[in-house]
């Protein structure tokens, strides 16, 4: 009995060790599970009705950190980017200030200046709802075929903006990109 149990334990240890080795070998990006709550469609701001007006008290606000569509961000056209440069691999690092503006600090276009310029021009129009601020990084990888790897957004540096959200407030992540021609299966948020 003891021998059988020891044998089973040994097999389990070997399997676990093998699994651990496989995980260690995996590229870092593959280890991250994409956020299933992430939105895909741009949120449509409320529209006024014309038939009647109901004036009611204010409801509690659900805080969602995302692009601010009131401030007209321009979409990044993925097909145009592909046409411009099929092998574009561009990293944009910047930070979101307290007013929600995305300030680009550096662009690493790795020898793809046209794609870099197009991405810079578009991202300069992106403004966010002011619930979070801090450093943010976008990776655009046009040639990759791997799911969730075309665009990666590193939001690990973002902190709650205490001017607009209390420390106790729960802030959900909404749409952090505005890209025509890509689905959420192509995008990964690195939390």
Partner 1 sequence: MAFRKLHHENRRVPLYSLIDLVFILLIFFIITSIMIRTTRGEAKLYIPTPKNEPGEAQILIQIIDDKTCLWLDHTAIDTLRRHSYMIPRADDLGAKVDLLLRKMTLDNAALSLRLSRLKESIAESVKKEYFVLIRCPEYLPYVAATRIIEKLVDNPYIEYGCVSGSLQDIRSSKSILIDGNVLQIDF
Binding site for partner 1 (CB under 8 A): 44-61, 63, 68-72, 99-100, 129-131, 163-166, 169
Nearest approach, Cβ of residue 104 and partner 1 (Å) = 18
Joined together, the tokens standing for residue 65 give 């950190």
- By beta-carbon proximity to partner 1, the closer residue of 27 and 58 is 58
CA angle, residues 11, 12, 14, in degrees to nearest 5? 65
Q: Which is nearer to partner 1, 31 or 47 (CB)?
A: 47
Contact predicate 174/37, CB 8 Å: no
To the nearest whole angstrom, how small is the minimum distance from the Cβ of residue 49 to partner 1?
3
Residues in the chain: 191
**Sequential DSSP letters for 63-96:** PEESB-GGG-PPPEEHHHHHHH-TT-EEEEEEEE
Q: Which is nearer to partner 1, 128 or 139 (CB)?
A: 128
Among residues 33 and 60, whose Cβ is nearest to partner 1? 60
Instruction: Compute the least distance from the CB of residue 138 to partner 1, in Å.
Output: 22
Instruction: CB nearer to partner 1: give 61 or 106.
Output: 61
Task: Give the CA angle between residues 32, 183, 47 to the nearest 5°.
Answer: 115
Distance CA 15, CA 85 (A): 44
Minimum distance from residue 71 beta carbon to partner 1 (Å): 7
Taking the complex as a whole, the smallest distance from the CB of residue 180 to partner 1 amounts, in Å, to 18
Question: What is the maximal distance between C-alpha atoms in the chain?
Answer: 81
């Amino acid at each position: 009995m003891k021998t059988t149990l020891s044998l089973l334990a040994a097999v389990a240890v070997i399997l676990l060790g093998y699994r651990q080795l496989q995980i260690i070998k995996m590229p870092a990006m593959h280890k991250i599970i994409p956020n299933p709550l992430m939105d895909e469609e741009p949120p449509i701001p409320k529209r006024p009705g014309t038939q009647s007006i109901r004036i009611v008290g204010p409801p509690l606000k659900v805080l969602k950190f995302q692009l601010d569509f009131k401030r007209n961000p321009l979409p990044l056209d993925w097909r145009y980017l592909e046409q411009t440069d099929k092998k574009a691999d561009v990293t944009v690092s910047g930070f979101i200030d307290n007013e929600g503006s995305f300030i680009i600090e550096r662009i690493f276009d790795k020898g793809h200046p046209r794609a870099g310029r197009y991405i810079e021009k578009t991202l300069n129009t992106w403004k966010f709802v002011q619930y979070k601020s801090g450093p943010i990084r976008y990776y655009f990888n046009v040639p990759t075929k791997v799911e969730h790897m075309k665009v990666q957004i590193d939001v690990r540096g973002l902190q709650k903006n205490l001017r607009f959200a209390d420390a106790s407030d729960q802030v959900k992540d909404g749409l952090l990109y505005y890209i025509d021609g890509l689905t959420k299966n192509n995008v990964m948020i690195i939390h």
